[in-house]
Amino acid sequence: MNNALPVGENLKAQNINSEMRCPYCGEEETTAHMLFHCNHAAQIWRIVPCKDQIEPLSIGDIRAGIEMSPYMRCLPPIGVGEGPIFPWIVWRIWIARNQLMFDNKHQTIEETVNQAIILAKEWQMAQHHTRRKESAGAKRIPTLRKISGENKMTCKTDASWREDKRSAGFGWIMLRQSANQAEEIVEQGGEARDHIRSPLTAEGVAILTALTRARDIGIKQITVASDSHQLIRAINKEFLTKEFHGILHDILDLSKVFEKIEFVCT
């Protein structure tokens, strides 16, 4: 923001090193070039698994990048949830640049993105742990709690997984149940997705997709029903298995936006 990063342009302005150039392409190294405009940096931003990716060449300076950062939200089942990814990408680009310049260690764009995601997930988990620690001993209503009364909303989800193609199809239906037990369909939908590594992950993505839709249409109280007993037990106990860590973190993180939510087996 204040030209504090020791990139070529800033060092030259301070008469420290007038010869320093971008270690990737040899062009003049400005902060914007290093973080966004260099072909190496631009490729990094373009493979970040976000719903709304930024176009790095359109960013004029770091301030403009920061202003666009709230629109970057990682896709499931990465495990970052609603947390920020932008600062960790910036940090890993800077670290990779220094390793190349001073240690002659070259990092691929995939390695840079993966390490940024790991840092983002660790930061998210630390925030979750800190909030729980600070509220320990205080009387509070738990995140997962049963819903009763009129206008009860139930979301039923299902998923089918193809092992040969590592793909899955998801479906959900949201039903409103009134006091006289009548049900009406509020919302229903489905989609298909590739790169799903297991049936459990498929069921998890189905729930996460349905919850995202419920949030977007303004539902505040909901019961989520799935026929995956293993998945529901993992959610209710917040049990993070290695296979299911990322998607479970996203589900629990998204659950916080609802006033009341419960997960049940069908």
Domains of the chain, by residue range, sit at 8-134, 152-265
Q: In this predicted structure, what is the pLDDT of residue 127?
A: 64
- Model confidence over 194-220: pLDDT tens digits? 888 888 888 898 999 999 989 988 899
pLDDT of 262 higher than 70: yes
Give the pLDDT of residue 23.
92
Output the pLDDT for position 53: 76
pLDDT tens column, 162-176 = 888 888 888 888 888
Of the candidates 234, 258, 264, 256, the one whose C-alpha atom is nearest the C-alpha of residue 246 is 234
The pLDDT value given to residue 142: 39
Which CATH number is associated with domain 152-265? 3.30.420.10
pLDDT mean across residues, the chain: 80
Determine the pLDDT at residue 2. Answer: 54
What mean pLDDT do residues 98-115 have? 90
Structure-token pair, residue 12: 């030259």
DSSP H/E element including 3: none
Query: What distance in Å separates the CA atoms of residue 223 and residue 152, rounded to the nearest whole number?
Result: 8
pLDDT at residue 108, as a whole number: 94
Q: Residue 38: its pLDDT value, please?
A: 95
